[in-house]
Amino acid sequence: MLILNKILPIFVLPLGWVLLLVAFALIRRKWWPVVVAAGLLYVGSLPLTGQALLAWLESHYASVPIAQVEKADAIVPLGGIFGPPVAEGCLPNVAQAGDRLEAGIVLWQRGKAEWLVFTGARIPWEGRTEVEGALSKRAAVERGVPAEKILVTRDIGNTADESRAVADLMKERGWKKVILVTSAFHMPRAARLFRKAGVEITPFPVDFRHDAQRHLTVLDFLPSAGALADTEMVLRECYGIAFYAVTGR
């Protein structure tokens, strides 16, 4: 299921449609699918498109001042914090979503919860020898969070697994509410899953990728790989939300 969850969306993302259209053009010896594929690739690769989609998705949960965050039983930064594994003794390879770790530590230091909970993310093909939560725990301890105040959930493979693991942990410990920390673009789907699992949350979005201060320039109409990645990232989140809405899972 994890593999299907990661692979199936490829075929309904812009790059997947482009490949399918080109394959269709070669098989049927028609030119129009190539034109459609080129247009789709151009539009999907525009910074204008990627930023507009990010602005829409991230607008669902606004940035929250730390002082306004109500106290809860635990702070839960979701996985996706680290990039590929590095050699032992090296600095951890923090990914773009590393803000999740930083925010979790800062919230704990500000006394917003007694416990800091990291999820035991383990993706089979990444070749990690330990779950991501163990890396996060070490980083938090190095920043001054006592090890006895940090918990790592059971192994998980995706956000749905994270929601169920945290729900079980809350029942086990009698917790009522957690502060959910994740990237702003990921918060709509994550919040839906956690609430579906029966977890009462205070959303704390971080890692905002839409720049509301930027002005439109000619570069917004020039395609780039980064803009295509933004477009496909937002579409993946939308497909995930639609899947849960249709299936009720």
What is the C-alpha radius of gyration for the chain, rounded to an integer number of angstroms?
A: 20
Report domain extents, the chain. 2-59+221-247, 66-206
Q: With bands split at pLDDT 50, 70 and 90, how would you rate the model's confidence at 241?
A: confident
Of residues 224 and 89, which shows the higher confidence score? 224
What is the tens place of the pLDDT at every residue in 190-208?
Answer: 999 999 999 999 999 999 9
Q: Can you tell me which residue has the tokens 């109500």? A: 70
Res 122: pLDDT: 74
For the chain, give the mean pLDDT: 91
pLDDT of residue 245: 79
User: Above 60 in pLDDT, residue 125?
Assistant: no
Question: pTM score, two decimals?
Answer: 0.89
pLDDT top residue among 226 and 247: 226
What does CATH list as the number for 66-206? 3.40.50.620
Q: Per-residue pLDDT for 123 more than 80?
A: no
Can you read off the two tokens belonging to residue 22?
A: 């080109």
Residue 71, Cα to own-chain centre: how many angstroms? 24
Place of tokens 């003794």: 89
Q: What pLDDT, on a 0 to 100 scale, did the predictor assign at position 2?
A: 56
Q: How high is the pLDDT of residue 93?
A: 85
Residue 55 has pLDDT above 70, yes or no: yes
User: What pLDDT, on the 0 to 100 scale, is given for residue 83?
Assistant: 84
Buried b (16+ CB within 10 A) or exposed e, 215-247: eeeeebeeeeeebbebbbbbbbbbebeeebeee
Q: What is the pLDDT of residue 126?
A: 63
Question: Looking at the predicted structure, is the pLDDT value of residue 45 above 90?
Answer: yes
Least confident of 120-129, 137-146, 231-240: 120-129
What's the rounded mean pLDDT across residues 136-161? 94
**Confidence class for position 249, pLDDT limits 50, 70, 90:** low
Instruction: Please give the pLDDT value at position 154.
Output: 92
